[in-house]
């Protein structure tokens, strides 16, 4: 398990390869890459600046990964989140998950992204022709994260 919060870009291919390197028990690697869009909420976006809370951001991401490892049998997890000023098309976030089977890999990857969106302290400032503005949190992100809480309860009930 490895978490990085960094300004630098990352190599998606190398990260995916590393998740299964030397681990013959890995049968599935699922990954997600988040990119800066050129439009948000009807505005043209010229650039986006990501602010974070050094220290807490890393520990919040690590905690999300530990929670994922408690829910699914995972052989490897890699999370990279960038900060600083990024242009449309640039990569923001990478989540890669290795497991024996695809079900766990897909689910854990989506779970980590959903929790990251609502629990990791990052904030986006969008630059548009009308000026810079902070992106508002979306209720749909809270809803996406909370569906995992429901399923966690369902898991508990089955125990």
Number of H helices, E strands in the chain: 4, 10
- Given a contact cutoff of 8 angstroms between Cβ atoms, the answer to whether 36 and 88 are in contact is yes
Q: Give dist(CA 53, CA 45) in Å, integer.
A: 24
Contacting residues toward another protein, per CB under 8 A: 34, 50-53, 55-56, 59-60, 81, 92-93, 113, 116-125, 134-138, 141
The one-character DSSP state at 8 is S
Cβ proximity to another protein: between 78 and 124 the closer is 124
In angstroms, give the least distance from the CB of 137 to another protein. 3
Cβ proximity to another protein: between 100 and 125 the closer is 125
Cβ proximity to another protein: between 20 and 128 the closer is 128
Token readout for 28 is: 């599935």
What is the end-to-end Cα distance of the chain in Å, rounded? 27
Cβ proximity to another protein: between 100 and 135 the closer is 135
Cβ proximity to another protein: between 28 and 33 the closer is 33
Beta bridge partners of 31: 96
In angstroms, give the least distance from the CB of 54 to another protein. 10
In angstroms, give the least distance from the CB of 116 to another protein. 5
In angstroms, give the least distance from the CB of 132 to another protein. 10
Half-sphere exposure at residue 101, Cβ-oriented, CA atoms within 13 angstroms: 4
- Given a contact cutoff of 8 angstroms between Cβ atoms, the answer to whether 46 and 39 are in contact is no
In angstroms, give the least distance from the CB of 86 to another protein. 12
């Amino acid at each position: 398990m490895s978490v990085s919060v960094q300004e630098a870009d990352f190599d998606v291919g190398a990260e995916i390869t590393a998740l299964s390197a030397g681990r013959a028990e890995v049968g599935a690697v699922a990954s997600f890459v988040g990119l800066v869009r050129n439009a948000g909420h009807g505005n043209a976006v010229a650039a986006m600046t990501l602010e974070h809370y050094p220290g807490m951001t890393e520990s919040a991401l690590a905690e999300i990964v530990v929670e994922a490892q408690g829910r699914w049998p995972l052989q490897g997890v890699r999370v990279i989140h960038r900060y600083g000023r990024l242009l449309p098309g640039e990569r923001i976030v990478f989540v890669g998950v290795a497991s024996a089977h695809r079900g766990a890999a897909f689910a854990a990857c989506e779970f980590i992204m959903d929790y990251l969106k609502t629990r990791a302290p990052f904030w986006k400032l969008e630059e548009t022709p009308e000026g810079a503005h902070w992106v508002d949190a979306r209720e749909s992100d809270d809803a996406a994260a909370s569906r995992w809480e429901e399923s966690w309860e369902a898991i508990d009930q089955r125990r």
